[in-house]
A and B are shown apart, each in its own frame.
Chain A
């Protein structure tokens, strides 16, 4: 199975300031079809997960443009350009390149 790791596991941020989360996979996430199926999900307190970013850098429907994704191969990053109060929650990276799909451990983002 592909193991996903994330850093940091906790990120206190100041409102209006940027935040960044890193995700690393134990092997390349490049699929045989040429796509890299790396997603980022947000889970606000008491809510189900919500897809933010898919295939490294594509924002899902309705996701604000302050969220962006980048990376390649085994190293990926989620950036929030200016953190808002509604961004508090846990962020997960997930790979869908190879079954079983696997998630990172999550990064908790809260306000300083």
Chain B
């Protein structure tokens, strides 16, 4: 079965950087696009970024464009989110999710990792 395990969250000061990872198993990772979606405490869902199966195409929400970078290592079955110039409003649980041409968007989701941006 599909398993997605996020890691790398924690408390970080404004302006600093953090890298999130998402270890994937139970499917052929290199065949699927992957997403990051976040959820601020007590709030709704916000799509962050998507990367194509081979890493050649990447798209970002305007709120993170120029600060966040999505990437993947298909040899390690791992998805990444490099977050630079972090702001208080980036505080959220970050979920990775498996894409699917069939569903058109995120299908299976991980459990999430909490990022807190605070001085």
Contact = CB atoms under 8 A, between A and B. Distances in A.
Contacts of B61: 100
A22 B65 CA distance: 31
Contact of A101 (B47, B95, B107, B111): B47
Given A92-B45, A99-B50, A55 B104 contact: yes
Interface string B72-113: 000000000000000000000001000000111111111110
Q: Is the interface of A mostly helix, strand, loop or mixed?
A: loop
Contacts of B102: 54
Contacts of A51: 103, 106-109
Interface residues of B, number: 23
Contacts of B35: 101
A94 B95 CA distance: 15
Interface residues on chain A, size class: 20 to 34
Given A99-B59, A100-B62, A49 B45 contact: yes
B104 A97 contact: yes
A94 B112 contact: no
Contacts of A35: 104
B105 A105 contact: no
Contacts of A92: 44-45
Contacts of A50: 109
15 contacts: A35-B104, A48-B95, A49-B45, A49-B95, A49-B109, A51-B103, A92-B44, A92-B45, A94-B105, A96-B105, A100-B47, A100-B59, A100-B60, A101-B106, A106-B44
Interface of A: 31, 35, 37, 39, 41, 43, 48-51, 54-55, 58, 60, 90, 92, 94, 96-97, 99-106
Given A31-B104, A105-B44, 8 more contacts: A37-B105, A43-B45, A54-B102, A55-B103, A60-B103, A90-B44, A97-B104, A101-B106
Interface of B: 35, 37, 44-47, 50, 59-62, 95, 102-112
